[in-house]
Homo-oligomer: A and B are copies of this chain.
């Protein structure tokens, strides 16, 4: 781009002076002495090589060039001021967020403290559903949903694409195990996917046979079962993070894979509401921070 702008403080001084048609009043607005404004304007005129003000018997008046210049500067400064005010106001409003139950519990809620701290006046309503139906059905502004890898969620911003690793309670797996040994333990399976088959393939082991001890259930329940020490679970490392840190789970292997990713869906036209925009921005920042710091 390589713009070369005149001194910005001088521009601001000129803008105020032009608006007031008076150096003194401009100085007043800017909270400086009239001499400061006078210097700024003179400096600007020298630099631009054009006269911006004309002397009046008493006071000053803009030249035509000054008028033109001012006409461009004032809206620009206005816009900058307006954008800057964005940060002053304490945001308020309501946001309704619908997240998948496991993701809500283990990913979203642990981070919400930061949001509450930053924006205590925003009222957050949390719902937990997994169905991939229209958000509007749940009357939610935003929805956090899982998508299998593929091109069909291109438009929805990414929240988490952390890979799946095997996790288990330390009571069940006190120390790291080889993949073969791991596959002999009770395997907690998702109700609808066979993630263990894929994992076994990755490790080069034979795909595990179904056993009486292998339970199939919803992700949320499978996770609780793993915490209770009933078996080994394939879970997103971002989701397991908290329980690993607390010593309630251990990662049983370095081998993992990406089955899909969590994305953020927005209800129609809802981003016009500032509280929703705020939460959305915060969420994406959280996600981006997470992905840039780890990995």
Contacts and interface: CB of A to CB of B under 8 A. Distances in A.
Interface in A75-117: 75-84, 86-87
B289 A54 contact: yes
Nearest to A72: B83
A162 interface: no
A281 interface: yes
A250 to B, nearest CB: 26
Contacts of A84: 5-6, 48, 69
Contacts of A288: 54, 61, 63
A51 to B, nearest CB: 8
A185 B292 CA distance: 96
A50 interface: yes
Interface of A: 1-6, 8-9, 11-12, 16, 19, 29, 48-51, 54-57, 61, 63-65, 68-69, 72-73, 75-84, 86-87, 280-282, 284-285, 288-289, 292-293
Q: Please give the count of copies of this chain that the complex contains.
A: 2
Q: What 4 pairs across the A-B complex have the smallest Cβ distances?
A: A72-B83, A64-B281, A8-B8, A48-B87
A105 to B, nearest CB: 24
Contact of A80 (B16, B72, B281, B285): B72
Nearest to A71: B83
Contact of A285 (B63, B75, B87): B63
Contact of A57 (B79, B80, B87, B292): B292
Contact of A79 (B4, B9, B61, B75): B75
B50 A87 contact: yes
Given A54-B292, A68-B86, A284-B64, A80 B11 contact: yes
